[in-house]
Structure 1
Amino acid sequence: MASDSAPASCKVMLSKHVANRLLAEVQEGLKTLDKPPHLVGFLANNDPAARMYAEWTEKTCQENGFDYSLREVSRDDIEQAIIAANTDSNVDGIIVYYPIFNNRQDQYLQQIVDVSKDVEGLSHRYIFNMYQNIRFLDPETKRQKCILPCTPLANIKILEYLNIYNTILPYGNRLFGHTILVVNRSEVVGRPLAALLANDGACVYSVDVTGIQKFTRGDGLKKGRHEVHDLEEGKTLKDVAPLCDVVISGVPGEAYKFDTSLLREGAVCVNFSSEKNFPHEVRDKASIFVPSIGKVTIVVLLRNLLRLIQNRRMDDVKPAEATERPGTIEAV
């Protein structure tokens, strides 16, 4: 797990270690099913990154006993294609590779994916529940878990693996005492991640070009869900980074590099961007460095698909048991 070039004080943790552990759980879940789950991907753009993600998804599905179909359609046909898949009993899960229109029409498409097949957790009901800290579709019986967006959840699974989550504390409060920095407040990953971490008890500083926001459940975690406060004008990354024991960065620009001189000694650093946000010098101050999370994101997608199947069963929780371990964020 440690890089040969890293000093002894820093462990470079590759995401494959987390992915392999989660895949073992996924395989146990597959054993409870009568047939392989069928995931359908829709590609309606010429984005090389989207195609690469689709190919990566197909490869991971094939290697792990899932059925996968890539359906390439035009932008004019994507809406009806999604609607048809919603009612197709042979389709267990749907993933759409964005951007397509690169405007609010993409948000509309996210909302027409049936909630029972939305492996990405992007439909309004899932997003609303995530921000409101509602963890079940049926809060009274607590049998149907909400689906969380894949990349934010992958970050959380990595923090669990690193024992940042304190399993001695009650479920839902296991980040209490941690101060976490999230660089990039995109609506796709950055903001949802900050909200999820704060809902689990952390004090989160969310940094973006528009300023710095603080996500927190208040003193003593008295609030049931996170609140967001804008830091006073003039506060910068230099003011908050030294306070944080975990730094997570996802800036999509090649030119961006996190200023490692701002790191708290021994901080845990995670990069979820496709670009290298942390320079090599991060190893001089960090205790643990995770350079990428892509492999975990794909496995989380498979876990979400199993979760959807379990939700449809309602009374049969075997897939849930197989894909969740005691002490993780999703175990009760």
Structure 2
Amino acid sequence: MSSETPSCKVVLAKNIANGLLQEVHEGLKTLTKKPHLVGFLANSDPAARMYADWTEKTCHENGFRYTRRDVDKEEIEEAILSANADDGIDGIIVYYPIFNNRQDQYLQQIVDVSKDVEGLSHRYVFNMYQNIRFLDENVPADGSSSVGGTQKSILPCTPLAIVKILEYLRVYNTILPYGNRLHGHTICVVNRSEVVGRPLAALLANDGACVYSVDITGVQKFTRGEGLKKRRHEVEDLEGWTIKDAAPLCDVVITGVPGDSYKFDTSLLRYGAVCINFSSEKNFGPEVKEKASIYVPSIGKVTIVVLLRNLLRIVQNRAAGQAAGKV
């Protein structure tokens, strides 16, 4: 190989998204009508408007109905409650931030769990952190392995998109049992937001990885213990640790730092690491290709397909619940 040819493979989000879209199209064939997604826009944030436009375009191109409703922020609560009660609406997405405070968290909780395509309601968040994978799962009180389940729990779109990317890259080892397929991997997540970074660290640890979660306050370690003895992840504060301690230990590095001033220090990378950036900014400089084996520069197109996949799953869950006499 020429010294001028980087050994790093750049993987584009659209190539990963195309495979997931095929799965979505197969699922749509089993339905009698197009799933209907309603998006509520109650802010003037250009990024939110762009996401709404992107959602609409992707829905219409792939056999889904989409309606955007622009509402005043003082009317958003009533608008969500009205959509909850509307049988013609299958899924609801709200474009945040609206109030940029705890009121946004309240709004996340009032979206009906059977229409919450973003997986932000309490039931879904609880299941995610507790490593409960089905809505109808029987979880023993003694903490042993769960039993059964036909209705899959909904996961937040961006963390799930990163999981799907890692599956596509075969970081997940399909020889291992489902739920343990990241066993042996050490992953650094640079972002601990409640929306993406912390849920992502929990999901990866619940699947068997040792995860170092990094933000400006320090480093936390997410793990299911030695030999994956725990049913769900535990979190340990690593006093005095910084990214300089964590990143060199990791074979996967995932960044999501907002703002164009942040750049990941490539000198901390292990040679051959897998690097994924989910920030709208470029957290990695071009020199990342000199050390990484695989680099995914952005994930937006995967996230939007995961949103459609979640909507499809919600419709399927409702049908499964009705068949079981639970809805």
TM-score norm. by structure 1 comes to: 0.92
Q: How far off its partner does 1:253 sit? A: 1.2
Query: Residues 39-78 of structure 1 correspond to what in structure 2 (within 5 A)?
Result: 39-78=37-76
Query: For residues 219 and 122 of structure 1, do their structure 2 counterparts lie closer, same or farther at Cα, with a shift above 3 Å needed?
Result: same
The aligned amino acid for 1:300 is V
Q: What is the rounded CA distance, in whole Å, between the counterparts of 2:73 and 2:320 in structure 1?
A: 35
Q: How far off its partner does 1:8 sit? A: 3.7
- Please give the secondary structure, in 1, of the residue aligned with 2:74: coil
The aligned amino acid for 2:122 is H
Q: Which residue of structure 1 aligns with residue 159 of structure 2?
A: 152
2:191 matched to 1:184? yes
- Please give the secondary structure, in 2, of the residue aligned with 1:17: helix
The aligned amino acid for 2:82 is A
The aligned amino acid for 1:54 is A
Q: Assess if the C-alpha contact under 8 Å between 1:57 and 1:298 holds in 2.
A: yes
Q: How far off its partner does 1:58 sit? A: 0.2
Query: For residues 240 and 173 of structure 1, do their structure 2 counterparts lie closer, same or farther at Cα, with a shift above 3 Å needed?
Result: same
Query: For residues 22 and 224 of structure 1, do their structure 2 counterparts lie closer, same or farther at Cα, with a shift above 3 Å needed?
Result: same
Q: What is the rounded CA distance, in whole Å, between the counterparts of 1:7 and 1:107 in structure 2?
A: 48
Q: What is the rounded CA distance, in whole Å, between the counterparts of 2:149 and 2:236 in structure 1?
A: 31
Q: What is the rounded CA distance, in whole Å, between the counterparts of 1:86 and 1:315 in structure 2?
A: 17
Q: How far off its partner does 1:203 sit? A: 0.1
Q: Which residue of structure 2 aligns with residue 328 of structure 1?
A: none
Q: How far off its partner does 1:240 sit? A: 1.1
Q: What is the rounded CA distance, in whole Å, between the counterparts of 1:33 and 1:224 in structure 2?
A: 35
Q: Which residue of structure 2 aligns with residue 227 of structure 1?
A: 234
- Please give the secondary structure, in 2, of the residue aligned with 1:238: helix
Query: Which one of 252, 255, 266 corresponds to residue 258 of structure 2?
Result: 252
Q: Deviations over 1:289-332 (max 9, x none)?
A: 00000000000000000100111011699xxxxxxxxxxxxxxx
Q: Which residue of structure 2 aligns with residue 272 of structure 1?
A: 278
Q: Assess if the C-alpha contact under 8 Å between 1:6 and 1:283 holds in 2.
A: no
The aligned amino acid for 2:88 is N
Q: Assess if the C-alpha contact under 8 Å between 1:7 and 1:284 holds in 2.
A: no
Q: What is the rounded CA distance, in whole Å, between the counterparts of 1:206 and 1:196 in structure 2?
A: 12
The aligned amino acid for 2:205 is A
Query: For residues 236 and 95 of structure 1, do their structure 2 counterparts lie closer, same or farther at Cα, with a shift above 3 Å needed?
Result: same
Query: Which one of 5, 10, 13 corresponds to residue 12 of structure 1?
Result: 10
Q: Deviations over 1:185-236 (max 9, x none)?
A: 0000000000000000000000000110000000000010000000022x21
- Please give the secondary structure, in 2, of the residue aligned with 1:77: helix
The aligned amino acid for 1:136 is F
Q: What is the rounded CA distance, in whole Å, between the counterparts of 1:293 and 1:300 in structure 2?
A: 11
Q: Which residue of structure 2 aligns with residue 284 of structure 1?
A: 290
Query: Residues 150-229 of structure 1 correspond to what in structure 2 (within 5 A)?
Result: 150-229=157-236
The aligned amino acid for 2:242 is T
Q: What is the rounded CA distance, in whole Å, between the counterparts of 2:4 and 2:47 in structure 1?
A: 30
TM-score norm. by structure 2 comes to: 0.94
Q: Which residue of structure 2 aligns with residue 310 of structure 1?
A: 316
Q: What is the rounded CA distance, in whole Å, between the counterparts of 2:225 and 2:105 in structure 1?
A: 31
- Please give the secondary structure, in 1, of the residue aligned with 2:82: helix
Q: Among the aligned pairs, what percent are the same residue?
A: 78
Q: Which runs of 5+ in 1 are unaligned?
A: 318-332
- Please give the secondary structure, in 2, of the residue aligned with 1:314: helix
Q: How far off its partner does 1:6 sit? A: 8.0
Q: Assess if the C-alpha contact under 8 Å between 1:184 and 1:208 holds in 2.
A: yes
Q: Assess if the C-alpha contact under 8 Å between 1:182 and 1:207 holds in 2.
A: yes
Q: Over the residues paired in the alignment, what is the CA RMSD in angstroms? A: 1.3
Query: Which one of 292, 303, 312 corresponds to residue 297 of structure 1?
Result: 303
Q: Assess if the C-alpha contact under 8 Å between 1:6 and 1:12 holds in 2.
A: no
The aligned amino acid for 1:277 is N
Q: Which residue of structure 2 aligns with residue 326 of structure 1?
A: none
Q: What is the rounded CA distance, in whole Å, between the counterparts of 1:316 and 1:168 in structure 2?
A: 35
Query: Residues 316-327 of structure 1 correspond to what in structure 2 (within 5 A)?
Result: none
Q: Which residue of structure 2 aligns with residue 327 of structure 1?
A: none
- Please give the secondary structure, in 2, of the residue aligned with 1:76: helix
2:143 matched to 1:137? no
User: How many residues of Structure 1 are paired with residues of Structure 2 in the alignment?
Assistant: 312
